[in-house]
Structure 1
Amino acid sequence: MNYERINQAVQFATMAHEGQKRKVTSLSYITHPYTAALYVIDALQDLSLDEQVKENIVIATLLHDVAEDTKYDLEAIKDAFGSEVATLVTQSSEPDKEKSWKERKQHTINQLTNASFEVKCIVCADKTHNLLSILQDYEQNREEVWKKFNAPKTEQQWYYSSISEALMTNVSHPPTLFTTYKQLVMKLFHT
């Protein structure tokens, strides 16, 4: 992998998310894409994918929320990192933020069901970190944690469980990250 290019993506993501905080914790937002990228790097280690493909997955994971949640758009990502990365970011992002929570989540599930393996890895790393953050907060605050979200616990359970099913669709040999994600869904919603 080209570590210079990955370092460039780290810097780009850090600049783009400057000043933002995580929803569940008061940590700097950038901890999310960094952690998701670590998960995806670990998941890709044992897979026989081209090194350029792996590199693009890692970079897209670092940048997965940039177009959605910052002033930078997909053109800026494409200009800096190429069309392959921009496409992965697009396919890993939610559509129009003007739509309702349920519509956006259903769109994500539908897209993920037929998504490429690369996109599934990015989304899984993203959602795995989200689940771990929620689980950590849940262990401290129990049911109060759900008040921080735009949808109640039952809707969150539907969403995260549906993501798990979509991840496994058309994947004959899921990486450990996918099964870890499924276990986290069970742990959070069946405690």
Structure 2
Amino acid sequence: MEKCKKAEALAKQAHDGQVRKLTGEPYVVHPISVAETLKEAGLSEDLIIAGYLHDAVEDTALEFEDIKREFGRKVVDIVQGNTEDKSRSWLERKQHTVDYIKEAPFEMKALIVADKLDNLKSVIEAYESEGDAIWEKFKGDKTKQRWYYKSIVENAFVGLEGIEIPPFFYTYKKLVEDFFGDV
């Protein structure tokens, strides 16, 4: 797990000074939480490392080559599978993720679900204190957010028959249902 500590330190360095738009807390709290979810589920070290670094290329000066050099091809492949192309519109990026997760390998699905689970927890927390005003902070309004989170649920479980599905997939599904209505 020494590589995990190195990945956490790199995430802290890369995200230094960034804050989450809903909570104002240091941004690195998010990738740490995602990695912890993956670790608690007993998933691979490479996947946990990818959890720490999943937003680094998208949101910082870190590049895929930096991750590959430090952690290898498998980690960078997982990170790439979760990295959005910011040159595309919000809807195009989210539709890509919805389509991708349906056919993605298990590790990619697990990272996406862990990421969305942590994001949704922040949304719910902000909603409880600020109400509908939170939707103004998003590029996608409440209706679009509902579509996105529910579509992730619908597609995350596709193709996982016979694979032991980690509990956090079900936690995510329940939170989506409780917050946005039945899937």
The two structures have a TM-score, normalised by structure 2, of 0.95
CA distance in 1, matches of 2:95, 2:42: 27
- Cα deviations by residue, 1:46-104 (Å, 9 ceiling, x for unpaired): xxxxxxxx00000001000001100011011001110110000001111x211110000
CA distance in 1, matches of 2:8, 2:39: 14
- Cα deviations by residue, 1:134-191 (Å, 9 ceiling, x for unpaired): 0011111111111110111000000000011111110124221111101111122139
Q: Which residue of structure 2 lines up, in the alignment, with residue 28 of structure 1?
A: 26
Q: How does 1:101-180 map to 2 (within 5 A)?
A: 101-172=90-161, 173-180=164-171
CA distance in 2, matches of 1:146, 1:190: 17
CA distance in 2, matches of 1:188, 1:145: 14
Root-mean-square deviation (CA), in Å? 1.2
Q: What stretches of structure 1 of length at least 5 have no aligned partner?
A: 46-53
Q: Which residue of structure 2 lines up, in the alignment, with residue 10 of structure 1?
A: 8
Which amino acid in the other structure matches residue 113 of structure 2? Answer: C
Count of aligned residue pairs for this structure pair = 180
Deviating 4+ runs (over 2 angstroms): none
Q: Which residue of structure 1 lines up, in the alignment, with residue 176 of structure 2?
A: 185
| Structure 1 residue 44: Cα displacement | 2.4
Q: What stretches of structure 2 of length at least 5 have no aligned partner?
A: none
CA distance in 2, matches of 1:69, 1:44: 27
1:42 aligns with 2:31: no
CA distance in 1, matches of 2:87, 2:32: 27
CA distance in 1, matches of 2:67, 2:155: 26
Q: How does 1:81-120 map to 2 (within 5 A)?
A: 81-94=71-84, 96-120=85-109
CA distance in 2, matches of 1:21, 1:112: 27
CA distance in 2, matches of 1:147, 1:162: 21
Q: Percent identity?
A: 41
The two structures have a TM-score, normalised by structure 1, of 0.91
